[in-house]
Structure 1
């Protein structure tokens, strides 16, 4: 990696060898890996070969942008996916149900690298409503967030619709109807709540998948987050920086799974925290 990074800079072989020795690249790979884990456990993630700055500082500079993008995407998924799924289930077989099924099917079949340029062409180039790329204005996040959220949104809507339809014949729903409860109360208290567990599982899995999707989406829209930064880092063979990013991603996946388990217990009293 040192040779690849310094290629074309005019560095001599002695300078390359000195940098390799300084960074420990003249040691066996197992020794280097052990030293990295030991240093990382003490908060030292090494220095970027390409930039000459501490890797942790460079990651922390870009992490807030990825968190903002992820938060905006999750908000779109919840704000649109859940209502669409509920309304589609309520109007089973109707016009709205068929429209939602068709639209979500199309949304699931189009990849990020197609959705992104299409949204740029429509909303940024033709209509000029939103910025093309970057993060200069608060509206810059709209297109990348919607691009990242489109597939999970469609999946959540379809799963919630199916889960709610499965609850319609359950005893607790039939009992609620026999008691004369308002339709809204039956839907929200009994059908939606009992249909949420599969949806939570899908959302958790899609959030993990969205971490990988940020590489494509951030690259398309020039969003200065960890996704596009990870792509540039891997292309430059900057191993210390790449290792730091991977550790943060792994930590995010573990945290998401833990939070999902906690939410399970809050939604369904039958699930107990051990």
Structure 2
């Protein structure tokens, strides 16, 4: 409001000066003074509004990203002050070409010195635009480190590992890394190999297989749509067992539900094997010892 009032008054004074036809020398000085007041008013308004513009980056629209608004606001205000000083010098016709050359050289030096910072800023914006992950997601980086995203800044991302140690990972590294987002999966895979004794009869093996197929279809723990493969078959023979493979996907990706489904399935396997009159196999090895004659 103050900026608007100052600009209105300044414009009115200019109109009065043109109407009164003030002599060149005092009129020119007075016009420059009024122009300087207008420049100061405009840039002071921008200076005061810079905090509001930066705060828009922390609105609900960007709720998943916590940005460091303090340093961004300082950079914005520094830029406004620099342009304001340049405009005032232009109003008073001060030659600033040499200064601008020096500022350009200084800017180039700063760009070289802060290239890592700039690279991380650009990478951070790319990560946000691609929506590769959000706060609260469990991710794996380059097939090794696994953790939960706690905050996403423009320069780095805070990831807390399952060992509860926080890691501040530069955004440039995340931008070039292979990131597995476990929180975006729709199901969890359950894959078991169930070994039965080699001397199990065909009827016993088929009974176990068919019972597990019924459990997969009727228990409600597994996804039955076409997008989720499901297999319960006699996989083959090994040295000590007849193996049945159980391959399916849970209905939801939650880890607690995955544990519950595995527990229920394990108990069902034990019950089914006992009901079929056979047993689970385990690796065995026979050693024959030949005794020697004692004189």
TM-score, normalized by length of structure 2? 0.20
Higher strand share: 2
Q: Which has the larger radius of gyration?
A: 2
Compare relative contact order (CA 8 Å, sep 6+) and give the higher one, 1 or 2: 1
In terms of fraction of residues, the more helix-rich structure is 1
